[in-house]
Amino acid sequence: MFEEIHYQEKKNKLNLYEMVEHGLIYVVRNYIPLKKFINEHSIFFNTTNKLNKINTEEFLKINQKLIEFKENGLFSNIFLEFIKNTDIDFAMSQIDIGNPRIVFPENSMKNEIKKISSLLNIKNSCFRKHLSPPHRDLNRPHYNSQFNFWWSFHDLEENESLVFFPEAYKKQIFPYMKNYKLDANAHSEKFAEVSKNFSYKDYKLGKPLQFKLKCGDFLFFNSEHYHCSAKKVNKNRVSCELRFVDKAFDNNDHYVKDSFYYIKNFTKQKNETLYSLFKKFDTLNKKKQNSLFFKFDEDIRVKLLLNNKLNYKISFIQKFKLLFQIRSFYFLEKIFTLEPFFTKFIFKIKLNYLSKNFIKNDFRFDKNPVNYFKKGHHSFNQPTPSLFEEKINEMIRKLSVVANSK
């Protein structure tokens, strides 16, 4: 169910499909890019003891720094080397910008959050108002797979790290908690309150699994593993999770809005990621914009066009270059909403090809560890080609009938 990897000794590429099929959890030890980043930037929390002694003002500084790293795509950049050294070679793979967290001990969490709430907006910060109850990050039908990177910015004892329930990985467990109309994702705060005094055993998800982590270690796992925050921990924690999608045709707004981008966008141009340059794109001069535009991947290119962020007019040749480089029906459909950007004839040929290719090769649900079409799960909501809307709706209907006739 899990495998430890010492990163510098790793020779074979990891297999994502084995992770999906068998629910394999990787514990990656001594990942140098992460260790280097922490050593360079962990001014306040390079030791757990120091973290427990710092005051509110210092926590606010940590919070601001974590947000800065996130907004500049630096967390995403850390894992590019790891992604390149696995079988993750899809040009259409995406990662998000990360979700850093500052977590206080459960018995002091409310008081600490109350104190900090008077100084900043908690909602837009890294401070957690409650522990996360057991949940799958994905709990509905999906045609691609999502994986999580999870790490702490300091050492963690086994009982302090993320908690897995691997026995539940392939079990048909519905999103709503038994005896309560609470979804672990949609109602996580209330769920956490209701289950505050639960032991891990009380969740009835099987035996819990945790790992001792040193600075520079991280966990890599399928997002559909049931997992939760560690309970009864009396130390502060600064950690982060980052999510990866193996083959993304859209921008994952159906999952988390404005968070996922193609991997290419997190490579660096000198000391900045392409993503950070995208964030300030409208402040750049025409020459700089023109030199950057085709360095971005198609998701950002389309977003810049839709939001009218270009200070120059792209040439006819550039328009056709953009058209022929697009790999996703979703982004091609988005471009068609613009003024006659391409001749309709050429556009329709390309869109028809991409849509058919998606239906033939990628519109599948064999990457789901359980059958989410059974009643009780959330419904399918990923984007699909509009050219085949009726056909896809009929396919979904048939899958639901089969799932619920057994």
pLDDT in tens, 120-159: 888 889 999 999 999 999 889 999 999 999 999 999 999 9
Rg, C-alpha atoms of the chain: 22
For 268-301, the DSSP string reads EETTEEHHHHHHTGGGS-HHHHHHHHTTS-HHHH
Residue 293 lies in a domain: no
Tell me how many domains the chain contains.
1
Closest to 148 in 3D by CA, of 167, 160, 135, 158: 135
Residue 66 lies in a domain: yes
Q: Check if the beta carbon of residue 292 is closer than 8 Å to that of residue 318.
A: no
pLDDT in tens, 47-56: 555 777 788 8
Residue 138 lies in a domain: yes
For the entire predicted model, the pTM comes to: 0.94
Which two three-digit tokens encode residue 283? 């402040």
Reading phi first (left if > 0) and then psi (alpha if -120 to 50, else beta), residue 216 is in: left
Which pLDDT does position 393 carry in this prediction?
96
Residue 132 lies in a domain: yes
DSSP state of 195: T
Residue 188 lies in a domain: yes
Q: Print the domain residue range for 233.
A: 2-248
> Mean pLDDT in the chain?
89
Residue 169 lies in a domain: yes
Residue 296 lies in a domain: no
At 80, which CATH number?
2.60.120
Higher pLDDT, 257 or 63: 63
Which pLDDT does position 179 carry in this prediction?
55
**Max avg pLDDT among 304-308, 312-316, 382-386:** 382-386
